[in-house]
Amino acid sequence: MNTLLILGSKPEPILPPRASYQSIACANASGFSAAKYGLPTPDYTVISAILTSGISSGKQSLQALSGLKTDVLYFFPRPIKQGNLIRKLIHHIKTIKMSPFYLKYKLKSISYEYNQFINKSHTYYDKLIKQLCDNDLQIAQQLEKKQSSTGVIALIIGITQGRYDRYILSGFSFELTHAYAENPEIDQRGTKVSKHANTDVAIMNYLSNKYQNIYTTEVTVNERSGIPMLQGGR
């Protein structure tokens, strides 16, 4: 059985026994935890455009990736701004730092290595989620309210690759907490709760019920999304 461990960024992730999985996928700077605990190089890592946007938490996450590596890097862009041509052009200029080219530049400056860079549109991932969730109306409505987190995109990519028989989610908490430092967004927003939480829970629940091969080591994920706990570490 080829099992993929999908690692999130929460502090002190509950890791399954090493023998229970063969491959690793990371979300944003969770590669920090993978390196900290001596895990293998990730098969792939999904990095959101927000890391190079200039916000404090993005800078913090980017720094945590210094000197690390992944085999394949997936760029997860921001949603396309709706409106007329002028409005779209202004949005493009404002978000130039969140482009794949700028991300490559910043990763090179911190000696982050990858063998392949994959750049798909935000619409591509949005459609992918809807397809895997059988165009469920509630999922579609939730995506209209807020996009999914990078961690869920990592799960979506793993499922669509068709290379894995089982998935284990570790290091997920639906919070803004990071393993590598105190996230400044927590004080700025006055809450630890991630804006992606409700969307992530809905998608995780649907995919878990559909595929019956997704497990978690985190009690919070089990309680909120219904994903079953990995039993016996196997």
pLDDT single digits (tens) 16-25: 999 999 999 9
**Of 52-56, 75-79, 117-121, highest mean pLDDT:** 117-121
Residue 52 lies in a domain: yes
Residue 233 lies in a domain: no
Residue 234 lies in a domain: no
Can you give the pTM of this predicted structure?
0.91
Residue 120 lies in a domain: yes
- Are 203 and 38 in contact, with CB atoms under 8 Å apart? no
Residue 232 lies in a domain: no
Q: What domain count does the chain have?
A: 1
Q: Which of 197, 208, 124 is nearest to 159 (CA)?
A: 208
- Please compute the mean of the pLDDT values over residues 51-77 and round it to a whole number: 93
According to the model, what pLDDT value does residue 13 have? 96
- Please compute the mean of the pLDDT values over residues 35-50 and round it to a whole number: 96
Mean per-residue pLDDT over the chain, rounded: 91
Q: At what angle do helices 197-211 and 122-132 cross, to 10 degrees?
A: 40
Residue 124 lies in a domain: yes
According to the model, what pLDDT value does residue 88 have? 52
Q: What is the pLDDT of residues 86-131, one digit of tens each?
A: 455 444 545 778 899 999 999 999 999 999 999 999 999 999 999 9
Strand order in the sheet with 3-7: 113-119, 69-76, 44-48, 23-27, 3-7, 166-170, 214-216
Report which DSSP code applies to 37: T
- Please compute the mean of the pLDDT values over residues 146-164 and round it to a whole number: 96
Residue 9 lies in a domain: yes
Asked whether residue 232 carries a pLDDT value surpassing 80, the answer given is no
Q: What is the CATH number of the domain that holds 43?
A: 3.90.1480
> What are the residues whose beta carbons fall under 8 Å from the beta carbon of 6, sequence distance 6 or more?
24, 25, 26, 27, 151, 154, 155, 158, 167, 168, 169, 170
Among the ranges given (5-14, 64-73, 120-129, 187-196), the one the predictor scored with the smallest mean pLDDT: 187-196
134: containing domain? 3-225
Question: Rounded distance, CA 75 to CA 56, Å?
Answer: 20
